[in-house]
């Protein structure tokens, strides 16, 4: 049974039952069970009589989970990394539920081919579209092909160096408010406190995208709007970063219309978008006429004025742009900085070295200060932290055409021989393990998993350019090619600015809490949890002491 046929039949059932959630759920479960059996039977026959991929498969496949539960239950990327070290930077696994064969990939030549040379021939898997649309809307992360090209062209000016420099005062003011709040907390606790960095670093990041992007004040986390965004986003995380969420994310692979059913793990994605859409309408309504600037709001308002309807009423697409940049534009950078803080807290000597580099600087650092050669150790800390702790855990793409993937490193095939290229068929699912791409020992050396900023400063310590991907700093943190992070410049500036200011005011301490990272392809970015206390939600505790 083809995916198209399944989609048509399941949509009929869903449409008929959506007025009654109970009927919808029962219809979905019954139909899904039947379709699951037929799909699994079909794939089993194809494996027996068809010619599969010539790649090794790790042991331990489950009839329900495939290999995905094993990959999810450890810290993100660790299971994949183990098999990359055994087989080389490509192997195959079975997906949950329908047991589809997926390539898991970390080879730099193959990734350069997919992301740069033939990007639009490898879109995200179709079954992921509804998840992205529910959480972020149909904006630049969701869009494909020419639609993506047009959106990128429209929004690029908002992230130029010129615009970032124009927003320097807003960024500094947002930080000052946050720092005052953080100092007060630590002072009240006797000069030494503990924060959940995963939550606290959201405050300045949300303020900055609000002020710089949309002329909107989230009040350093005090406004009802800010609290509402985080409350709904945390509901989404808590509902999805578990086995139920993993199963719900995989179900639409063979049963696409299930994304419309009232399943909590799926429906929590939409709550944040509804709130931010309301905020977007308020942003538009406050402005009487289009502005001439190149901030995001001005760009979108000019687009609204150009529609010719005589109003500045935002379209659904414009509100989706607001949603994407408010949510993804603050959550990814705040979490990334929190990981860097944790690394510094766990490495007191490197923390001291960074503080020595920044403490004597007078005034507020500018964009040029932080992106030149003036602070080499800050640059090294930034790159090393993003190498090991990139925002995304892994994503899934699909080949639209038959192709041959080049391989930089030999990959062991199932018969024990080694291959240097990988033929694939149209429709082949490919999991790109972003959390492991830059942790391979045969690229970064035997200390690849060690957090060591000095590798960026020591002569000859970095891999050859042919052995890495081609993104920013030759790491995969911001992806690469036409779909690389549009806000890369702003993100790197914020990252360095936050660390610079933190180290001048606080000493960071490791609390000793055992930390694990969780993610799957249905979640926006990797999240920290205290081992044994996962039910408490995301948490990255870091001790802070005020400096004299």
When pLDDT is averaged across residues 101-110 and rounded to a whole number, the result is: 97
**pLDDT > 90 in the chain, percent:** 68
When pLDDT is averaged across residues 86-115 and rounded to a whole number, the result is: 94
Whether residue 288 has pLDDT greater than 90: no
**pLDDT > 70 in the chain, percent:** 87
pLDDT (0 to 100) of residue 268: 72
Whether residue 33 has pLDDT greater than 60: no
Strand ranges for 127-254 from DSSP E: 192-196
Strand ranges for 359-512 from DSSP E: 395-398, 403-412, 418-424, 429-432, 506-510
Lowest mean pLDDT among 37-41, 191-195, 220-224, 372-376: 37-41
pLDDT (0 to 100) of residue 252: 75
CB 435 within 8 A of CB 104: no
Label residue 390 exposed, middle or buried (CB < 10 Å: 0-12, 13-18, 19+). Answer: buried
pLDDT (0 to 100) of residue 34: 54
Top-confidence residue, 344 or 40: 344
User: What's the predicted TM-score (pTM) here?
Assistant: 0.90
> pLDDT tens digits, residue range 310-367?
677 889 999 999 999 999 999 999 999 999 999 999 999 999 999 999 999 999 999 9
> pLDDT tens digits, residue range 20-32?
444 444 454 554 5
CB 77 within 8 A of CB 393: yes
pLDDT (0 to 100) of residue 245: 80
Confidence of residue 277 (pLDDT cuts 50, 70, 90): very high
Whether residue 2 has pLDDT greater than 80: no
Among residues 84, 18, 60, the alpha carbon closest in space to that of 431 is found at: 84
CB 437 within 8 A of CB 448: no
Whether residue 48 has pLDDT greater than 50: no
Lowest mean pLDDT among 47-56, 78-87, 88-97: 47-56
Whether residue 463 has pLDDT greater than 90: yes
Whether residue 83 has pLDDT greater than 60: yes
Query: If you compute the radius of gyration of the chain from its CA atoms, what whole number of angstroms results?
Result: 24
When pLDDT is averaged across residues 190-199 and rounded to a whole number, the result is: 95
- C-alpha span between 255 and 98 (Å, rounded): 10
Whether residue 12 has pLDDT greater than 60: no
Top-confidence residue, 242 or 89: 89
> pLDDT tens digits, residue range 501-510?
999 999 999 9
When pLDDT is averaged across residues 178-190 and rounded to a whole number, the result is: 95
DSSP alpha helices (H): ranges in 400-540? 441-444, 488-505
Confidence of residue 3 (pLDDT cuts 50, 70, 90): very low
- C-alpha span between 463 and 178 (Å, rounded): 38
pLDDT (0 to 100) of residue 4: 43
Confidence of residue 46 (pLDDT cuts 50, 70, 90): very low
Confidence of residue 263 (pLDDT cuts 50, 70, 90): low
Q: Quickly tell me which residue has 């992106």 as its tokens.
A: 371
pLDDT (0 to 100) of residue 7: 41
pLDDT (0 to 100) of residue 512: 97
Q: Quickly tell me which residue has 């766990």 as its tokens.
A: 346
Confidence of residue 11 (pLDDT cuts 50, 70, 90): very low
Top-confidence residue, 244 or 111: 111
Could you tell me which residues come within 8 angstroms of residue 433 by beta carbon, excluding any fewer than 6 positions away? 77, 80, 81, 84, 104, 105, 106, 393, 394
Top-confidence residue, 363 or 241: 363
Work out the mean pLDDT of the chain and round it to a whole number.
88
Whether residue 301 has pLDDT greater than 70: yes
Name 432's bridge partners: 105, 395
């Amino acid at each position: 049974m083809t995916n198209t046929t399944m989609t048509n039949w399941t949509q009929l059932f869903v449409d008929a039952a959506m007025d009654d959630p109970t009927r919808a759920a029962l219809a979905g479960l019954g139909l899904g069970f039947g379709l699951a059996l037929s799909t699994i039977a079909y794939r089993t026959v194809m494996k027996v009589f068809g010619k599969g991929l010539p790649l090794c498969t790790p042991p331990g496949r489950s009839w329900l989970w495939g290999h995905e539960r094993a990959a999810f239950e450890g810290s993100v990327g660790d299971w994949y990394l183990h098999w990359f070290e055994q087989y080389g930077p490509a192997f195959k696994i079975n997906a949950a539920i329908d047991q589809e064969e997926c390539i898991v990939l970390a080879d730099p030549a193959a990734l350069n081919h997919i992301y740069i040379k033939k990007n639009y021939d490898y879109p995200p898997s179709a079954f992921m579209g509804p998840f992205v649309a529910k959480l972020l809307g149909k904006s630049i992360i969701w869009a494909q092909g020419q639609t993506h090209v047009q959106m990128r062209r429209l929004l690029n000016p908002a992230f130029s160096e010129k615009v970032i420099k124009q927003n320097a005062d807003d960024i500094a003011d947002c930080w000052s408010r946050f720092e005052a709040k953080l100092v007060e907390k630590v002072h009240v606790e006797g000069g030494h406190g503990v924060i959940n960095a995963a939550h606290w670093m959201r405050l300045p990041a949300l303020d900055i995208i609000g002020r710089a992007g949309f002329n909107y004040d989230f009040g350093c986390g005090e406004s009802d709007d800010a609290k509402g965004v985080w409350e709904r986003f945390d509901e989404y995380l808590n509902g999805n970063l578990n086995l139920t969420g993993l199963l719900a994310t995989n179900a639409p692979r063979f049963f696409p219309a299930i994304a419309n059913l009232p399943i909590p793990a799926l429906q929590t994605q939409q709550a944040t978008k509804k709130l931010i859409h309301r905020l977007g309408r308020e942003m538009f309504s406050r402005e009487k006429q289009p502005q001439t600037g190149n901030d995001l709001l001005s760009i979108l308002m000019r687009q609204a004025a150009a529609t010719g309807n005589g109003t500045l009423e935002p379209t659904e697409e414009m509100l989706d742009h607001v949603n994407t940049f408010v949510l993804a534009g603050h959550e990814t950078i705040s979490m990334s900085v929190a990981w860097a803080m944790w690394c510094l807290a766990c490495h007191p000597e490197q923390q001291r070295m960074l503080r020595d580099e920044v403490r004597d600087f007078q005034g507020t650092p500018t964009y040029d200060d932080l992106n030149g050669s003036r602070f080499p150790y800050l640059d090294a800390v930034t790159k090393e932290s993003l190498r090991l702790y990139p925002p995304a855990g892994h994503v899934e793409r699909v080949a639209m055409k038959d192709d041959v993937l080049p391989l930089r490193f030999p990959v062991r095939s199932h018969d024990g021989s080694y291959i240097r290229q990988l033929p694939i068929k149209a429709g082949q699912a490919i999991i790109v393990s972003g959390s492991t791409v830059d942790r391979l020992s045969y690229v970064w050396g035997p200390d690849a998993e060690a957090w060591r900023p000095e590798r960026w400063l020591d002569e000859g310590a970095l891999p050859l350019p042919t052995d890495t991907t081609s993104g920013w700093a030759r790491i995969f943190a911001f992806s690469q090619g036409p779909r690389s992070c549009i806000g890369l410049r702003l993100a790197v500036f914020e990252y360095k600015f936050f660390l610079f200011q933190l180290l001048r005011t606080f000493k960071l301490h490791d609390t000793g809490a055992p930390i694990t990272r969780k993610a799957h392809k249905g979640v926006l970015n990797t999240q920290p949890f205290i081992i044994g206390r996962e039910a408490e939600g995301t948490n990255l505790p870091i001790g802070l002491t005020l400096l004299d």
